[in-house]
Structures are given as structure tokens and as C-alpha cells.
Structure 1
Amino acid sequence: MITVLNAFCAVAATVGLGYMLRALYHDRGDVALRYLCVVFGLSVVGFTLLIPAVWVRVDALFDAPNIAALLAGNCVTGLVFGQQIVLQYWIHPPAEARRRARRRIVLCALVLIAMALLFAQLDPSVQRPRDFSVYYGPSSYYFTYLLLYVFVYTSGEVLIARTAWRNAKETQDVHLRRGLRFLSIGSWLTLGYSAVRIINLFGPRLGFDLSHRDDVSVVFGNAGALLAMLGFTFPGWGPRLSLVIRWCVNLVNYHRLYHLWATMHRTVPEIALFPPRNRIRDLLKLTELEYRLYRRVIEIRDGQLFLLPYADSTAVDGAARSARRAGLGRDEIKAVTAAVAIRTAVERRSRGRPGDEGLVLHPSAHAAGPDLDCEVAELLHISGELRRVHLASTLGGGAPEQGPAEAPGREADAA
């Protein structure tokens, strides 16, 4: 399982690196993007080295047992400092960010040198690609090496988590805000890795051993790393994702309004600018959804205005009273009365009967809302109520203009 997790993270980091390199190609002057490319590159190398088959081959290449452990640790240390530098360029002016970046680069170099010296003293001659930390844990040199590594890793992740979350509250860019929150959550999650490593460091000295749960640390570390990668890339592809989600929502809403639109169109065919030849063709139209949804809303509203004089005021008033008795909210009452007005108007017009000239509904029952989303939400509500009215009148066997026929069903729903 751990090998699969490391391989998956390596692939994810490779995809992220390709995405960052593409972005850097189009914006070569962005210093933060350069450091992000380094961060993702280190992630690719680090996770790849932790795959046992790669570990063994790297050791053979350098003729040094377990050198892959040192290289993987160096990659993780480097990317933690790299993530901090990226955040500095995101939240500070260029001059200030450069000053802070230089300080972190020097500190990172000193840490890497200290880790290399401690690892050299360890002389890990027995190759352990799967349980290196557990096997060499008792060594005093490895204890110092791992203590330094965990301290730098943990302090760096805490700093990243706090900085990202604090600045997520201040930014107005919704996609950057979400990316910073993903990064912050991922950084906090990696502290589970640190906790297990610290327990394994001090546990044997305190009389307990949890080394058999060392794989838990990898799960925390990998999960946190994946969220961090998501956070760093989200500001770039988040807007595209929003467009895809918007398209899907429009598609669903367009077809959810079909029943209400079809009810209008059967009675008032002239409302349709481009009437579909059949339902299947309508379902297969996947382009210009924003425009077609807008047209559907307009045509429904036109149908409401046309049918309003044919509505039965007695049924509408009765439905409103029943809805109020059932404890329904203001918006639900408007939807109920609009649905009853539509239903009774369609019935009366189909029978050639006149309506009530003095009928007055709430403006939102037949007039445009403040924007398309509000319009769609209102009409979907009306469509749902229209189905209820139709079902109640069908089950009750009475004419829909009797109004209270649907009230028991609504009151039952409220109960």
C-alpha cells in the first residue's frame, strides 16, 4: 500500500510539474512560478526515490547503500523551504520577498549540509528500502539526523499552514483563497507524519514501541502533500473548473425547467423563439447553454404573463390560505400560488373559458428576478409546485381550479 501511495504521489507531482512548466513558459518573469517548478520537481524526485525498486537502483548507481534515503530527505527539506519562498512571493512585494527568500535558501543549505554529515557518520550498510527509519532508529547518529529533519519539517509546515490560512482570509480572489486553504489544511495534515516520527524517536527510550505503525506516518505525509499540490495549482485551474461546473449546472437546470416550459409551450406555442423538434434533440443540444437557459427563462415568463388573465383567483387565494395554514415560508407561498395560477390558466384556456381580470399575484410569481440564477431558482421552485398541484388534482379527482384540493398534501408535507 505504501509503495502505491508513493507512486501515486510521484505521478501527481509529475502532472503538477508539467502544469507549472507550461505556466512558466507563458510567464517566464514570474519568480514564484520558478520556485513552484523547483518544489514540484523535488516532489517528483522525492516520492520516486521512496519506491523500493527505484531505491535499490539508485543505491546501485551510486554504490552507496541507502543513499536514496538521504536524497529523499533532502528533497523533502528543499521543497518545504521552497513552499515557504513561494508564499513570500505571493504575499510580499518583490524586494521584500527576495530578501526573505535569500534567508531561507541559506538556512536550507546549512540544514542539508548538517544532514549529509550526520548521515555519513551513520554508515548504513544494510539496505532497507521499506523500513529504513525503524531499522536504524536506535543509532545515535540517525536519532540526531532524524531529530533535525523532523524539527525543520514540522516547523516549516506549521509556518506554511499559518501563513496560508491567514492570507486566505485577506485575499479577494476566490480561487487563490481556496488554494491557500487547501495548502493550509495539507500542511496541518502532515503534522501527523511528524507526530509518528517523534513517537518512534522517543518511544524506545521511554519504554514503548510503535514502530509497527510507521506506515501511518506515510499516509499522513502523502495525504498532506497531495493537498498542498492541489493548493498550489488551484489558482491556475480553479477558474476553468468553475466554468465546467457552471456549464453542468446550466445543463441540469435547463432540462429541469423543461416540464414547466413544455406546459407553457403547449398552451402558448408562440412563446418559443426556436422550438425543439422533439425532446431527444433538446437533450442533445450541449452548446450555448447560458443563452438557451436564458431564452427558456424568458419564454416561461412570457407564458406566465400571457396566461395570467385566465387563472382562477378563487383557486389561487385558496391555495395561498392553505399554504399559510401549513406554515410554509414566503417563497414557498409565492411558488404555490404561481403554480396554481398556471395550472388553472392552462385548464381554463384549453376549455375556452375566460379568466379573472382582477387577479393579482406577487410580482416574483411572474416578473423577472434580479439575475439569471435567481430567476432559475424561482422557476425551479414553481416547477416543483406545479408537479405537486398536478399530482394533487389527479389523485383528488377534482378540477384543479378548486384550489384547496392540493392543500391536504401540502399540509401533510409540512407536518
Structure 2
Amino acid sequence: MNGQDYYIPAAALGVALAFKLPALRHNWRDPLLRSVCSLLILAGSVFTFAAPPTIAAVNRWTGVSNFSAPLVYCLITLFSAACLVLIVNWRGGPPEQTRRISRRWIVGYGGVAAVLVVLFVLGEAPVERLRDFDTYYASTPYIQVVIGLYLTAHLVAAVVMVAMCWRWSLQVRGWLRTGLMIIVIGYVFNLSYDATKISAVVARWIGHDLDDLSTYVAPPLASVGALISAIGFVLPLVCQRLSDTWKTWTTYRRLGPLWAEVQPCTPSGTPCVRMPWWSPLELRMIQRESDIHDAFLQLGPYFDDRHRDRAYELARASGSDEETARAVAEAVMLTAAVRARTADPDGAVIVSSDENPTDIPQAPRDLLRISHALRTSPLVAALRQTATLSGRAGG
């Protein structure tokens, strides 16, 4: 593998991290988010520093042959710890217990990383090996323990990661489950990486040569595993955002008929703020709902139960179900109130303070039903036509 084969998965992990950072910025105290971001940072660092061009550069900058070996092994070990800490936080439980278990994994794998450095210093690795360090020094005193120790730590983390994600995927649904299943597939490739590396190292211990497994087969498996895992981490977040955006846009659009109906009744003293089309959709949605609620306050004195009751009876008689009939009745009463308010620009209609004027339900679901009825109900259309004809006759 050349440098690009390492830098591409590192870039993919960087993209995954970029999607997570906004959520971390708004909720940096969340241990789960911190664990995910730590994992992505360490995984990207592993691929960056494990690339042969980076290995050669680090060795040259430090002046120590194979200095990159313990550096990469420590990064892999810390990455394994990040996987286990992530599992602990995903599993949940009492916060103190979660923190205690996380600290144990961090301290344990941190100790392994420290031992790797000590053993490397005690051993001798004078010949620089950019691609086959594991098999070349597999039988060297102290260095062989370094190699076996980091592979074991990585294998344990990969096994636990697969088991935990698989078990969790059976308990959830939707995009989260899809993401977990993708992560499981990615870590199966990581297990294959461990299997090929360990096979090549053990073969060296017993006098055989399977170096090609470690040099040419294992790195592509790790790259593919990293790319797939990155997709698994990003997919639930991206798809959830797209789903939320689509839901907000759909609600915004479906409230359009209701918003257009009550626009003439918005408070005259309230400045009309027009948001540009590039404004965040959430803000535009809030403004639209606020305009509707403000208009309802203005229309309160003009709501007439007689319009609503009559429209409800007609809707039920025509075969509409209970919810549809109520929405049609509210829409008819609202339309009549708008006409009455428009015909009374000076606000001559006064409701006594001890009366509670009829109000229209303002729950989002009710507003959507009313908006739909304003657009589709024959009763609303008939009322509008009657008002138009009356206006022409009066003219």
C-alpha cells in the first residue's frame, strides 16, 4: 500500500469527526460524544502516522530509526481504549459507574502504551522497516513482546466492539440500527486485520514465512474497516438531520394555507419581519407559527361557535371522521372570523372581560389539520364563495 491508501481512510475519519464536532460544541459535557470524537481522532491519527511516507518522515525528524513503530503502536492501543470507553458510554447505566469503568479502561490501556514504550527502548531495532516491522522483528527480544501486546490489545477491543454493537442493534430501530450494523461490518474487517497480522507473526515464531499476510493483506483490511466504520458513525447523524430538516420543511409548507388565511389579521403595530430565503428553516418555521398565534389573538373576539357547530354537523353528515370534521369546523369558523375581522377594521366588536372567546386549538397537529381543511374542504370553499358574492352584491 502507498501513502494514499492510508491517507484516504484518515480523511474519511476526519469527515466523520467534522459531522460530530458541532454536536460536541453544543453539548461538550456529554461523555458519549466525547468518546466518539476521541475515537475518530485516534483512528485518523493511526492511519496518518502508519502511512509509509509519514513513518519515514517521523524517523527522519527524530533521528531514531523505527521511532514511528512505538508511536503507531501506542496510537493503536489508545484507539482500542477509545473503542471500549465508547462501548461503556453507549451501554449507559449510573453515571458514576460509567465513569469508573471508563477510567479503568483508560488507565489499563494507558499502562499498556507505557509498557510498549519501555519495551521498545529495552529492545534493539536498528534497521528501519517502513512496511514489515512486525514480521521483521517478530523474534527480536523485547520487540516481539511489543508486537504481541499491541495486537492483543487491539483484538480484545475489536471483539468487544463487535459484540456490543451487535447486541445493541437488536434493541433499536431506524438509522441507529443501520449505523450499528455497518459498524459491526467494519470491525469484522478489523478482526480480519488482527487475524492476518497475528498469523504472520506467529508463523515467524515457529520458523515459517507468511510475511505477505502482514505486509500486503492486513493494511487493506484495516483501511476498508476504517472506511466502513466511519460510514457507520456518520450515517445515523446525517440521516437524522436530513429527516428532521425534511419534517420541518414539510410542516412549514403544510402550514402555508393557514398562514396565508390569517395574514390580514396580524397585529397592525407589529413590525413585519421578512426573513430571506437563506435563513435557517427552523427560524422561518418559528416565525410562521408565531404569526399564526398572533393572528389568533386578534381573531378571538370574532370566533363564532355557531359557524363551527354547523360546519361540524355538515362534515359528519357527509361522512367525515371525527378528527376531519373537527378540523373542517375549526377552518370554517376561522374563515368566518377572518371575514368578520376584515369587515371591522376599527375593532368595533368588543367581548366583555368576563367572557372567554372561543379559541382554535394551537397544537401543531391541530394547526396542520386546519390548514389542510382550509385548502381542501368544500365547506370552506362555499363560505368563501358566499362571502365573495355578498361583497359583489354590496358593491
TM-score range, shorter chain: 0.5 to 0.7
Equivalent residue, structure 1, for 2:113:
112
Equivalent residue, structure 2, for 1:323:
none
Q: In structure 2, how many angstroms separate the alpha carbons of the residues matched to 1:238 and 1:203?
A: 45
Q: CA deviation at 1:244?
A: 9.9
2:187 counterpart of 1:187: yes
Equivalent residue, structure 2, for 1:171:
172
- The SS at the match of 1:140 is coil
1:208-227 superposed matches below 5 A:
208-214=208-214, 215-227=216-228
Q: Is the 8 A contact 1:58 1:67 kept in 2?
A: yes
Q: In structure 2, how many angstroms separate the alpha carbons of the residues matched to 1:96 and 1:145?
A: 32
Residue deviations 1:24-79 (CA, integer Å, cap 9, x gap): 11222221111222211112221111222221221222222211121111111111
Look up the equivalent residue of 2:220 and give its one-letter code: V
Look up the equivalent residue of 1:234 and give its one-letter code: L
Q: In structure 2, how many angstroms separate the alpha carbons of the residues matched to 1:241 and 1:72?
A: 37
Q: In structure 1, how many angstroms separate the alpha carbons of the residues matched to 2:243 and 2:5?
A: 29
Structure 1 residues 199 and 245 mapped into 2: Cα distance closer, same or farther (>3 Å)?
A: farther
Q: In structure 1, how many angstroms separate the alpha carbons of the residues matched to 2:235 and 2:34?
A: 17
Q: Is the 8 A contact 1:183 1:232 kept in 2?
A: yes
- The SS at the match of 1:170 is coil
Look up the equivalent residue of 1:161 and give its one-letter code: V
Equivalent residue, structure 1, for 2:14:
14
Q: In structure 2, how many angstroms separate the alpha carbons of the residues matched to 1:109 and 1:167?
A: 27
Q: CA deviation at 1:243?
A: 7.9
Structure 1 residues 89 and 200 mapped into 2: Cα distance closer, same or farther (>3 Å)?
A: same
Equivalent residue, structure 1, for 2:38:
38
Q: In structure 2, how many angstroms separate the alpha carbons of the residues matched to 1:226 and 1:102?
A: 28
For structure 2, the residue ranges without an aligned partner over 5 or more in a row are 248-395
Residue deviations 1:89-145 (CA, integer Å, cap 9, x gap): 122133332121011011111111111111112232222212222322231322211
Residue deviations 1:177-224 (CA, integer Å, cap 9, x gap): 112111222112211111111111121343431102322111112212
Task: Supply the RMSD in Å over aligned alpha carbons.
Answer: 2.1
Equivalent residue, structure 1, for 2:132:
131
Structure 1 residues 210 and 19 mapped into 2: Cα distance closer, same or farther (>3 Å)?
A: same
Structure 1 residues 206 and 134 mapped into 2: Cα distance closer, same or farther (>3 Å)?
A: closer
- The SS at the match of 1:119 is helix
Q: CA deviation at 1:240?
A: 4.1
Equivalent residue, structure 2, for 1:48:
48
Q: In structure 2, how many angstroms separate the alpha carbons of the residues matched to 1:66 and 1:221?
A: 21
Tell me the TM-score normalized by structure 2. Answer: 0.58
Look up the equivalent residue of 2:109 and give its one-letter code: C
Look up the equivalent residue of 1:129 and give its one-letter code: L
Q: CA deviation at 1:241?
A: 5.6
Equivalent residue, structure 2, for 1:100:
101
Structure 1 residues 135 and 245 mapped into 2: Cα distance closer, same or farther (>3 Å)?
A: farther
- The SS at the match of 2:131 is coil
Q: In structure 2, how many angstroms separate the alpha carbons of the residues matched to 1:245 and 1:4?
A: 37
Q: In structure 1, how many angstroms separate the alpha carbons of the residues matched to 2:220 and 2:169?
A: 26
Equivalent residue, structure 2, for 1:237:
238
Equivalent residue, structure 2, for 1:75:
75
Equivalent residue, structure 1, for 2:146:
145
Identity of aligned residues (%): 28
2:154 counterpart of 1:156: no
Q: Is the 8 A contact 1:122 1:142 kept in 2?
A: yes
Structure 1 residues 237 and 210 mapped into 2: Cα distance closer, same or farther (>3 Å)?
A: same
- The SS at the match of 1:78 is helix
Look up the equivalent residue of 1:54 and give its one-letter code: T
For structure 1, the residue ranges without an aligned partner over 5 or more in a row are 247-415
Q: In structure 2, how many angstroms separate the alpha carbons of the residues matched to 1:175 and 1:189?
A: 22
Higher alpha-carbon deviation: 96-105 or 228-237: 228-237
- The SS at the match of 1:98 is helix
Structure 1 residues 102 and 4 mapped into 2: Cα distance closer, same or farther (>3 Å)?
A: same
Q: In structure 1, how many angstroms separate the alpha carbons of the residues matched to 2:144 and 2:169?
A: 37
Residue deviations 1:353-377 (CA, integer Å, cap 9, x gap): xxxxxxxxxxxxxxxxxxxxxxxxx
Q: Is the 8 A contact 1:115 1:145 kept in 2?
A: yes
Q: CA deviation at 1:245?
A: 11
Structure 1 residues 243 and 69 mapped into 2: Cα distance closer, same or farther (>3 Å)?
A: same
Q: In structure 2, how many angstroms separate the alpha carbons of the residues matched to 1:98 and 1:21?
A: 22
Q: Is the 8 A contact 2:13 2:44 kept in 1?
A: yes
Equivalent residue, structure 2, for 1:285:
none
Q: Is the 8 A contact 1:2 1:218 kept in 2?
A: no
Tell me the TM-score normalized by structure 1. Answer: 0.55
Q: Is the 8 A contact 1:46 1:71 kept in 2?
A: no
Q: Is the 8 A contact 1:46 1:75 kept in 2?
A: yes
Equivalent residue, structure 2, for 1:206:
206
- The SS at the match of 1:100 is helix
Q: In structure 1, how many angstroms separate the alpha carbons of the residues matched to 2:18 and 2:182?
A: 20
Q: Is the 8 A contact 1:2 1:219 kept in 2?
A: no
Q: Is the 8 A contact 1:193 1:217 kept in 2?
A: yes
Residue deviations 1:227-260 (CA, integer Å, cap 9, x gap): 22222222211224668999xxxxxxxxxxxxxx
Q: In structure 1, how many angstroms separate the alpha carbons of the residues matched to 2:245 and 2:55?
A: 40
Higher alpha-carbon deviation: 71-80 or 120-129: 120-129
Equivalent residue, structure 2, for 1:62:
62
Look up the equivalent residue of 2:229 and give its one-letter code: A
